[in-house]
Structures are given as structure tokens and as C-alpha cells.
Amino acid sequence: MLKGLYCSKLERQVSMEECLHCSKTNLKCDIFPEFIEFLKSRYDEEYIPSISPTRLLGCARKAYLEKEIDYTVGIETLYYSFRGSLLHLLFEKFKTEDCLIEKKFEREWKGVKIVGIPDKIDVHRKTLWEFKTVATVADDFSLKWNNPRVRDQIQANFYKWLVEPVIPIENLVIVYVGSDCSRKYQVKVRAIEKDKSLALAFQKAEILSKIWDKPLEQVKAEGKLPKMESGWECRYCNVEAECKKLKETI
């Protein structure tokens, strides 16, 4: 689990309170107080591990190790989360009638509890909205060809499955917000039994359900640690170093 923040200026781990105080008094530091206050407010929600759609769309081994291994993250690397949440403050302030903003949903899949928080649900129009921040729409590899990212489409469909026992969903919308413009897409509804990417996410849920409550040493001894999914995401993984060590020993 996340146990602290790493300050690149001090070259050591710091607490949120220490970082908050420094951000108010050290005018040479790039970190500002509101950013740290945001991290404090989101700590329980974001960093207490649960099996969520976001984790199931990534590496299953990473999802498990982030629960089992204590790690720190660079303060600056969490800025993307802060930037995305600025949109959610806008939604809350100007929330329209019959819309739910960041409501938590839970649903079981073959005995596995999956927890997720869609960005916005228009109950009246049966529409689920997901918002993504990007640097610029024009320079994004997928968006410049007018194609919403496949992973984001899968995530929207996963949320549809998650909320449908409570709220029927007929439409899925993804909005990309960049510094240059925004782009809105209605994406197709995918069936779990027919879509390979969506089915793979549910397979990971089954894999994690068998080890989620077991300690790492037991999982290693039983040979049930999920395979490492090598790829570009490894560069941004919080437990990359520990994962590589396990690969060498298993």
C-alpha cells in the first residue's frame, strides 16, 4: 500500500503534513498547498486497495502487489490525478437534475466484489459519461485520427455493467478535455461474452479473487502470483522494482 510521498527536492520520504507545511512556506518548491490538500482528501478513496475496473484493465500482478507491498510515490507523479479531479469539482458545482457525480457502485462477479466510481450518470437519459484529461487533443495519437482510446471504451463498458443492477444504461459517452479543446464521443456497447478485452478484465477479477486476501509469501509458495504484463505501463508502475525481483525468484 501507499505509505508515503517521495520529495525529489529533499531526496527522501515525507509525510503529507510535512509536504503541506513546506508548500506554504517554501516558495522555491513547485508544489502548492491545494494540491496536497486534494491528496489528503482522496487518500482513503484512491489508495486503499480494492478490485476496481481501473485495476482490472491494467496488470493483475501490479494490482495485487500494490495491496501487499509498502511503496512511496513521487509527489509530482500524482499531479495527473489532481488535474482530472478539477473537472469533477466543476461537475459538482454545476450538477444538472437527475445526474449522479462520482457515486460508488459495488457488484459481485462469481463471488468477487468489484468497486468502481463512474464520473457521471445521467439517470433520466440513461447515459454514462467518462471524462479524460489529455495534454492536447490534436497531439494525442488516437484522438488526432478521431478515434476514442480502446481502453477508455472498455472502461466505460465495465462501468455500465457495474451500475446496471441499480440504473439502466443505454448510452456511453467519453469526453476528452485538453488544453486546446474538448472532444466528445458516443461509444458502442460491448457484450462481455463477445468482447475479448472486456472478457479479459473479468478473467483478471477471477484470478485476483483467489489471492486477494492472502499474504504475498503464501501466494508465492502456492505459485499463484499473476504473470507480469510487460509493456509501456511498467515505466510508470509504483512497484516495478519489487516486481522485477519477484520475477527473478519465482
Q: What is the pLDDT of residue 48?
A: 62
CA gap 116, 55 in Å, rounded: 10
49-249 sits in which CATH class?
alpha beta
pLDDT class of 237 with cuts at 50, 70, 90: confident
pLDDT of residue 88: 82
In tens, the pLDDT along 146-196 reads 899 999 999 999 999 999 999 999 999 999 999 999 999 999 999 888 899
Residue 202 half-sphere exposure toward CB, CA atoms < 13 A: 20
Strands 12-14 and 171-177: unpaired
pTM: 0.88
Segment 160-170, tens digit of pLDDT: 999 999 999 99
- Torsion over CA: 12, 239, 58, 104 (sign): negative
Q: Could you give the C-alpha distances from 237 to 40, 96, 119, 195, 220, in angstroms and in order?
A: 21, 37, 24, 27, 20
Nearest to 42 by CA among 2, 92, 94: 2
